[in-house]
């Protein structure tokens, strides 16, 4: 008896198109389906910012942070914590056994300060740059070498800062002449188009710090802009705007002493999750970002604990054990009780993510803000 022929399944049209497009590119695959592990849109990993609240605000997930293989811009006025946040990213990269690179245009880095926030300066690659052209030449060289040398390690390149960098023509000219701002914007625009394409398939994160500057004569809308034109903002997957919310003071010998600042980080652009979220955290001059300090405020806001005067009470949802503490005891408690810390972290992440789910919001009674994410918002 003759066997019945099984009709072979014809390829889908999308498969045919993908095959034809990949034939056009001899060097690398260009057409993917987004459920494929090879898709260049896949995030290769996450780098913590040093504060859990900002991590979840950016990535919309626990244990997230800034995406690997993307470009991030950190902006803000002076003394808002831009360089410090960038330094924490270097420290967190090293914790992941990655390579941390700092391209410095300000020549204002303190070795002691970097060590205090956890950066291993013996493994930090420090590069001094004099001009915008040098910044991108160095970035391109690093990316090209990483592409051929190792694809396993995460590499974070921090450029601190774009605002302080001049063009080669500006450095060689009379400082009284103007018109170099346009040159700088053109150079950055050309470089960003090339750099963005280069890091798209690599485990390389590129982080720029930039200074906010006020537009002259703006009466409505966002009065703030950044140095170097719009290209950096356009090519960035994440843009974080920092604002100094006030000083943290303590009494020393009967006198007020400023020991840190309170910072609000607003995600003004986010391709990894919902934009326009905000996270508050504290920065201490001697040790950097206080990760656990902001947790207490989120717990109170979401009623995850009870408060009676200066005392707080938290009930372990798994064991039923009651923890009583004052605010000054919370950070030591989080440092010693790992299981409790993980439980609280997951709960505050769940609450933070839930706040932005549209099915939990009263969208019929919303308000429209026409001012945009300005510095005062």
212's CB contacts (< 8 A; 6+ apart) are 75, 76, 77, 224, 225, 226, 241, 375
pLDDT mean over 294-303: 89
pLDDT (mean) for 204-233: 87
Closest Cα partner for 108 from 82, 90, 76?
Answer: 82
pTM: 0.88
pLDDT of residue 362: 52
The whole-number pLDDT of residue 5 equals 53
φ, ψ of residue 290 in degrees (nearest 5): -95, 100
Q: Is the pLDDT of residue 360 over 50?
A: no
Q: Give the model's confidence band at 374: pLDDT under 50 very low, under 70 low, under 90 confident, else very high.
A: low
Q: Which CATH code of 3.30.250.10, 3.40.50.12500, 1.10.287.130, 1.10.4160.10 fits the domain covering 292-359?
A: 3.30.250.10
Averaged pLDDT score across all residues of the chain: 87
What is the residue extent of each domain of the chain? 39-241, 292-359
Q: Evaluate whether the domain defined by 39-241 bears CATH number 1.25.40.80.
A: no
Q: Is 284 helix (H, G, I), strand (E, B) or coil?
A: strand
pLDDT higher than 80, residue 58: yes
Helix (H, G, I), strand (E, B) or coil at 281: strand
Residue 19: pLDDT above 70? yes
For 194-211, what is the HEC assignment? HHHHHHCCCCEEEEEEEE
pLDDT at 88 over 70: yes
Among the residue ranges 173-177, 200-204, 218-222, the one predicted with the least confidence is 173-177
Q: Assign 369 a pLDDT band (cuts: 50, 70, 90).
A: low
């Amino acid at each position: 008896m003759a066997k019945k022929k099984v009709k072979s399944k014809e390829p889908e049209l999308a498969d045919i198109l993908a095959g034809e497009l990949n034939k056009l590119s001899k060097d690398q695959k260009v057409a993917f389906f987004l459920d494929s592990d090879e898709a260049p849109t896949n995030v290769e990993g996450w780098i913590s910012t040093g504060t859990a609240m900002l991590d979840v605000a950016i990535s919309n997930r626990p244990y997230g942070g800034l995406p690997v293989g993307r470009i991030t811009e950190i902006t803000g006025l002076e003394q808002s914590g831009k360089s410090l946040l960038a330094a924490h990213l270097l420290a967190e990269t090293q914790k992941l056994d990655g390579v941390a690179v700092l391209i410095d245009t300000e020549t204002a880095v303190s070795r002691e300060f970097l060590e205090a926030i956890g950066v291993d300066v013996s493994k930090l690659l420090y590069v001094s740059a004099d001009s915008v052209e040098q910044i991108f030449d160095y970035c391109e060289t690093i990316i090209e070498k990483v592409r051929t040398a190792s694809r396993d390690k995460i590499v974070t390149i921090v450029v601190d800062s774009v605002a302080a960098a001049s063009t080669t023509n500006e450095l060689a000219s009379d400082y009284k002449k103007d018109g170099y701002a346009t040159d700088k914007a053109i150079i950055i625009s050309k470089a960003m188009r090339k750099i963005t394409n280069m890091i798209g398939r690599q485990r390389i994160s590129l982080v720029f710090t930039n200074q906010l500057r006020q537009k002259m004569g703006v009466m409505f809308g966002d009065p703030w802009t950044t140095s170097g034109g719009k290209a950096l903002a356009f090519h960035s997957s994440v843009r974080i705007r920092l604002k100094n919310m006030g000083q943290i003071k303590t009494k020393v010998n009967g006198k007020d002493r400023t020991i840190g600042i309170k910072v609000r980080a607003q995600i003004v652009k986010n391709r990894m999750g919902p934009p326009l979220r905000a996270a508050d955290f504290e920065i201490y001059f001697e040790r950097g970002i206080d990760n656990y300090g902001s947790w207490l405020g989120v717990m109170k806001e979401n009623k995850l604990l009870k408060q009676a005067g200066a005392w707080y009470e938290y009930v372990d949802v798994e064991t039923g054990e009651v923890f009583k503490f004052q605010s000054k005891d919370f950070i030591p408690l989080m440092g010693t009780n790992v299981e409790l810390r993980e439980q609280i972290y997951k709960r505050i992440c769940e609450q933070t993510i839930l706040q932005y789910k549209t099915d939990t919001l009263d969208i019929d009674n919303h308000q429209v803000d026409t001012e945009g994410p300005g510095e005062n918002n």
